Amino acid sequence: DTAVSQTPKYLVTQMGNDKSIKCEQNLGHDTMYWYKQDSKKFLKIMFSYNNKELIINETVPNRFSPKSPDKAHLNLHINSLELGDSAVYFCASSQGQTSSNEQYFGPGTRLTVT
Amino acid sequence: AQTVTQSQPEMSVQEAETVTLSCTYDTSESDYYLFWYKQPPSRQMILVIRQEAYKQQNATENRFSVNFQKAAKSFSLKISDSQLGDAAMYFCAYRSFSNSGYALNFGKGTSLLVTP
């Protein structure tokens, strides 16, 4: 049973296109995240949602728009893709407001913009 | 914002030996959480160990243990009896106790090579 799943796992697209990455968790968690891992493997938070409400919105271009239709899903839509958007995008989830709770990560989506 | 520094981009260890990965962080908070995550070539992020800053006792999980020095803001990971399956990128991460949306703040990672 996959705890945090992402689709697709690989995405190759051209500059200027619009694409979405979907994330679902079946752990009953109330907080979900999007992280970006660049070509140097550096991981950085993009967004965080708690009970469907946005609580973190880091300095991310407004071409990136997260959508949380319910607590189990957090999708990432990207408009007008640019070469610099090429990266691995990870979805994660955790339970509650307690910081010690483990964040469970999805398998990642490797986005390649050509 | 808190910064997390991993000063060793790459480390190498022989099978069955012990290796220590370094991590330092910068914060003005007194309560927080620290984590080590492992990322093998499959790119799956796996929690290795966690430490609550208010606990003085160092966390241990089987062959993995930490040396947490709060005053020095240091959080190193020791891997004992290294195995080939330990080869991976290791990320140190900080999480605020009170705010910042509970997101993890990662270091740049240490690539661990395990040789037979």
Per residue in A23-60, pLDDT tens?
999 999 989 999 999 999 999 999 888 888 888 777 78
- Confidence band (pLDDT; 50, 70, 90) for B22? very high
pLDDT given for residue B14 in this prediction: 98
Cα–Cα nearest to B49, from B39, B40, B62, B30: B62
Pseudo-torsion of CA A48, B49, B1, A23, nearest 10°?
Answer: -20
Q: What percent of chain B has pLDDT above 90?
A: 80
CA distances, B23 to each of A113, B88, B97 (Å): 33, 16, 19
User: Which tokens is A95 given?
Assistant: 């339970």
CA-CA distance, A86 to A109, in Å (whole number)? 10
Q: What is the average pLDDT across B14-34?
A: 94
pLDDT of A99 > 70? The answer is no
pLDDT given for residue B96 in this prediction: 80
Of B45, B96, B108, the CB nearest to A105: B45
Cα–Cα nearest to A96, from A27, A45, A5, A35: A27
pLDDT given for residue B98 in this prediction: 63
Chain B interface, best mutation among A23, A43, A51, by max B CB count within 10 A: A43
CA-CA distance, A63 to B78, in Å (whole number)? 41
Q: Which residue of A has its CA nearest to B111?
A: A41
pLDDT averaged over chain A? 91
Q: Which neighbouring-strand residues pair with A58? A: none
pLDDT averaged over chain B? 93
pLDDT given for residue B101 in this prediction: 63
